[in-house]
Structure formats: structure tokens, C-alpha cells
């Protein structure tokens, strides 16, 4: 079942479904003209608040934090799209097919983190223009790469949320909102992680975006490359762990579906 060629095929077909869903949501125009603009405005709004309560360093802190939270929120659309096979009636067919469910679901919602990578990068770079924040071409490349990595790692967490939403489809939006709010509060978006009690600080380490934010802020602040690399590694490692958990949970959902039937009707 873990045959790499078959895994790639499974992910690819998931992506085909994801692209079709994405296209039914947005045209190129509505995506760039409405969705992208909306995210940029949202981040701009936070930056204005940052401007009122803090100095220019804090504004930059907030821009990056708010843009990454928009990335988290968009990526968590996975919570909804992981339930759609139930609605479509394709779930029983997937259960009956020789499919590794986690790979399929990895492809199934992949358009969200990819779209989020673009919106978040554009939001950061656009608002940088208004707040005297300059990025060298190398920094821009690194920024986009780190946003992509963080976005994909967050996606792995979102898959775990999706696996839970599959069991409680009615709660899919509540769960994803809750995760977004928790990440916004505790993962260093608006206030440093160190502000919170140790237990929360520890918990925040399990969330990929905590490390991703640190790495991205490192590029902006000119932190040592080794530190950036370290944060990036943690982003990837936590993402990989969430991915492993999602593989397990999707498998578990499929075998639960075989035992009972609530997932199949």
C-alpha cells in the first residue's frame, strides 16, 4: 500500500478533484480580484491597529503575523473539503477501493495551501510597500519558500482536523475556526509566544506555524542563517508528524466505516 508510484497516483487524483473544486469556487478573476484583495485588506486592517498601539517594528510584526494567520485560515478549508466525499456518495467507493486514504486526502485539498501561499506572500509584500519594509530579491525568494513550507506543514495539521471533521461533519466549520483562533492567540501572530504560560508555550511548539513565523521573521530581521534553518526544520518536522497522524486517522476512519455505517450514508 505504501508503494511510491501508487502513492503518487493517489495524491495526483486527489489533486485533480481539488483543482476542480477550486475552479468551481473561483475563476482567475474572482480569485485575484476578490479573494486576494480581501486577504490584503484584512492584513492591512491589522497593520493599522498595529500602527495605533505600537511602533513601526510592531507593525511589521503584525503584518507578518496577520498574513500567516490568513494562510492558516485558508488552509483549514481542508476541514470542509475532507467531508465532501461523504456528501457526494464517493466515500463508500473509496472504502471499497484499494486506496491508502491519507494519500488521497493529502491531494484532495491541496489547492488551499497552494492558494494560501500566494495570497499570504502577496499580502506581506504589498503591505511592506506601505510601511517602508524592503526585501531583497533573495529575501523575497526565501520568504515565498518559507511561506510555502509553513503552509504545507499547516496543511498537514489541517488534514488531522479534516479527519476529525469527517466524523463530525456538522462541526467542520466550528473546528476549523477554533483552530484558527487558537493559532492566532498562542502561536506568535500578534504577541510573542513567550507572553503565555509555559504549558501553552509548549503546546504552541507542536503547531507548525509557530516555527514558520519565527523563520519568516528571522529573514526580515536578519537573524543568523542557522537559526532560520532551525526554525524551518521544526516547521517541517511538526508538519511531518501531523501528516503521519493524519494517515493514521484517515485509515482509522475507513476501518470505522467498515464496522459501522454512519460514515457511509
Partner 1 sequence: MTAIETQRLTRSYTVKGKPDHVALDKIDLSIPRGEVHSLLGPNGAGKTTLCRILSTVLLPTSGTAKVLGHDVATEPQQVKRSLGVVFGGDRGLYNRLTSKQNLDFWASMYGLGRAERRDRVGRLLDRVGLAERADEPVQSFSRGMKQRLHLARGLVSSPAVLLLDEPTVGMDPVSARDFRDLVRELRSDGHTVLMTTHDMPEAADLSDRVSFIDNGALALTENPDVIGEIVSSKERIDVRALPPELRQEVIRVPGVSTVTEIEHGLFRVEAEHKEAVRGVLMLAIEAGVTDIARSRPSLEEVYLHLIGRRGMNVAP
Ligand X SMILES: Nc1ncnc2c1ncn2[C@@H]1O[C@H](COP(=O)(O)OP(=O)(O)O)[C@@H](O)[C@H]1O
Of 183, 184, 190, the closest CA to residue 62 belongs to: 190
145 by Cβ neighbours in 10 Å (0-12 / 13-18 / 19+) ranks as middle
Residue nearest to ligand X (CB): 261
For residue 121, the SS3 value is helix
Nearer to partner 1, 61 or 104 (CB): 104
Residue 245 partner contact from partner 1, ligand X, none using kind-dependent CB cut-offs of 5 to 8 Å: none
Q: Segment near partner 1 (CB under 8 A), from 10-18, 53-61, 145-153, 182-190?
A: 10-18
Contact 175, 168 (CB under 8 A): yes
* 30 near partner 1, rule: CB under 8 A: no
Nearest approach, Cβ of residue 84 and partner 1 (Å): 9
Euclidean distance between CA atoms 73 and 92, whole angstroms: 29
Q: Decide whether 13 or 32 has the Cβ nearer to partner 1.
A: 13
Q: How far apart are CA 86 and CA 71, in angstroms?
A: 26
Cβ neighbors of 107 (< 8 A, separation 6 or more) are 10, 11, 12, 13, 14, 15, 16, 17, 18
Our finding on whether 259 is near partner 1 (CB under 8 A) is yes
Residue 92 CB, nearest approach to ligand X (Å): 11
Cα 263 to Cα 156: distance, rounded to the nearest angstrom: 22
Binding site for ligand X (CB under 6 A): 261, 265
- Closer of 124 and 263 to ligand X (Cβ): 263
Residues in 228-257 at the binding interface with partner 1, rule: CB under 8 A: 257
Q: Candidates 4, 29, 98, 194: give the one binding partner 1 (CB under 8 A).
A: 98
Q: Which three cell numbers stand for residue 243?
A: 501528516
Q: Which is nearer to ligand X, 70 or 91 (CB)?
A: 91
Q: Which is nearer to ligand X, 136 or 265 (CB)?
A: 265
Residue located via cell numbers 509566544: 193
Give residues in contact with partner 1 (CB under 8 A). 1, 6, 9-10, 12-13, 16-17, 20-21, 23-24, 88-90, 92-99, 104, 257-261, 264
Amino acid at each position: 500500500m505504501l508503494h511510491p508510484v501508487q502513492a503518487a497516483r493517489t495524491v495526483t487524483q486527489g489533486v485533480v478533484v481539488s483543482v476542480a473544486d477550486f475552479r468551481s469556487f473561483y475563476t482567475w478573476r474572482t480569485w485575484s480580484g476578490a479573494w486576494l484583495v480581501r486577504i490584503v485588506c484584512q492584513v492591512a486592517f491589522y497593520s493599522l491597529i498595529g500602527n495605533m498601539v505600537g511602533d513601526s517594528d510592531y507593525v511589521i510584526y503584525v503584518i507578518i503575523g496577520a498574513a500567516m494567520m490568513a494562510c492558516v485560515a485558508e488552509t483549514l478549508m481542508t476541514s470542509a473539503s475532507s467531508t465532501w466525499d461523504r456528501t457526494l456518495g464517493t466515500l463508500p467507493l473509496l472504502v471499497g477501493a484499494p486506496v491508502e486514504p491519507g494519500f488521497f486526502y493529502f491531494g484532495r485539498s491541496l489547492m488551499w495551501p497552494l492558494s494560501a501561499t500566494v495570497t499570504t506572500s502577496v499580502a506581506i509584500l504589498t503591505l511592506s510597500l506601505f510601511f517602508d519594509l524592503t526585501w531583497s530579491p533573495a529575501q523575497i525568494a526565501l520568504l515565498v519558500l518559507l511561506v510555502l513550507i509553513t503552509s504545507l506543514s499547516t496543511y498537514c495539521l489541517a488534514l488531522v482536523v479534516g479527519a476529525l471533521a469527517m466524523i463530525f461533519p456538522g462541526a467542520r466549520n466550528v473546528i476549523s475556526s477554533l483552530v484558527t483562533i487558537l493559532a492566532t492567540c498562542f502561536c506568535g501572530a500578534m504577541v510573542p509566544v513567550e507572553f503565555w504560560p509555559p504549558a501553552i508555550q509548549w503546546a504552541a511548539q507542536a503547531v507548525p506555524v509557530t516555527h514558520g513565523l519565527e523563520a519568516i521573521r528571522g529573514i526580515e530581521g536578519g537573524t543568523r542563517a542557522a537559526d532560520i534553518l532551525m526554525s524551518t526544520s521544526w516547521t517541517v518536522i511538526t508538519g511531518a508528524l501531523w501528516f503521519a497522524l493524519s494517515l493514521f486517522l484517515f485509515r482509522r476512519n475507513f476501518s470505522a466505516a467498515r464496522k459501522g455505517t454512519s460514515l457511509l450514508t
